Structure 1
């Protein structure tokens, strides 16, 4: 059953929460994704079988949450995540961040450090608005953005992505690879070798930039950006268990 949280920012956020014992898990989804995705639902079922607390949710403008996607930004979605984590969970949690959710989870590790027990990144995409989207724009797209405030990019998943000036400007205010990134807890980064959305170089840059004593990166040969095959889901579960054992 879907529940809703009214956040301090005035946004209504849809979520699913499962009770349990021990360190909980919070799943943070990707750009234009939602909490009904394969990974979120599969990890919830796995956590329930483990008897472990679990939360999945939709950012504003995503899935069942209120708002329009085109009005959103990294900062607002991070505020949504922070409200969910601080309002719904007890004690430190393991953040599992997929793609954009990896970026937002990294922001959470710096803003609410007392809520972090560990981190698992799945094709984490920190700073993608600056380093992937804006850096890849053609001169024509730059003009379109300046004139209309929005550019439509092919998504590979159906409808195109509306990329707004607000999203890009706000993304610049939330970059994590330009300043120190201390991660003083167990961290496991997972990356597919056939990911066409997040290149291997991003995972390596993040590994090199992050500062911590227990940080590992694992590549899954043949895995794409969805990272939802049985082999990939098993890798995520193993990473969570590894982090849990070291907390």
Structure 2
């Protein structure tokens, strides 16, 4: 069974909120997107699927997200990567499959590189590697760049709730964690789900990521009418099938 929400203390103060389902490995680990949390529909769907399959599953909130401590606007990719690695090192047991949604897809690549010896596979859902440079910074107007330089942040309207606060620290840190500039030395099975009607992440991003991965077992599944969330019933069935395929490939079946 899934335990009540647990807290993982951080060395610098604060704590990461997490939940874990006991079961067989490789363990499925869900990495949510920017300003999302572990209570989203895809995370809960995967937990139910893992429960039926008797498989271990972990979900958690980065600092500044959901039930974890911290302020969102103070975080950056490096902070959320550190949170992910803390969960992998101190909560997750044995080998794992990372399932990353949007920003979580970028963090899955970074965490997979950092813990390659335990990485059994990866599933991306509208994975958004390098989005701070390619999708945020590249689209800034001269006026926005001036505001960022003067004030250290700017606010952008968001269709998902309150305006998004983009900080200079987030953009500068994002440049240091880019992965699409060269080969990505991951050789595990990878399945990338991507909607072609995604207004936030161009579907070509999935092809760029697939081309950079050194793995020979990379599948790109384009959903012609799919949006960014990919959380419809049909999309969730695709997600379960993608995880199952990666697990079978990881087992050599």
- Pairwise same-fold verdict (TM > 0.5): yes
Calculate the TM-score normalised by the size of structure 1: 0.98
SS, match of residue 41 in structure 1: helix
Are the equivalent residues in 2 in contact too, given 1:109–1:183 (CA < 8 A)? yes
Q: Quick one: which of 196, 199, 208 aligns to 2:199?
A: 196
The offset of 1:179, in angstroms, is 3.1
Are the equivalent residues in 1 in contact too, given 2:25–2:95 (CA < 8 A)? no
Calculate the TM-score normalised by the size of structure 2: 0.95
CA distance in 2, matches of 1:23, 1:140: 48
Q: Give yes or no for the alignment of 1:33 onto 2:36.
A: yes
Q: Deviations over 1:103-139 (max 9, x none)?
A: 0010011111112000000000000000110000011
Q: Quick one: which of 166, 173, 177 aligns to 2:176?
A: 173
Q: Which moved more, 1:8-17 or 1:79-88?
A: 8-17
What value does the CA root-mean-square deviation take over the aligned residues?
Answer: 0.9
Are the equivalent residues in 1 in contact too, given 2:33–2:102 (CA < 8 A)? yes
Aligned position for 2:20: 17
Unaligned runs of 5+ in 1: none
Are the equivalent residues in 2 in contact too, given 1:207–1:215 (CA < 8 A)? yes
Q: Quick one: which of 144, 148, 153 aligns to 1:141?
A: 144
Aligned position for 1:221: 224
Unaligned runs of 5+ in 2: none
Aligned position for 1:231: 234
CA distance in 1, matches of 2:25, 2:60: 20
Misfit runs of 4+, over 2 Å: 7-11
Q: Quick one: which of 81, 98, 121 aligns to 1:95?
A: 98
Matches within 5 A, 1:6-155: 6-155=9-158
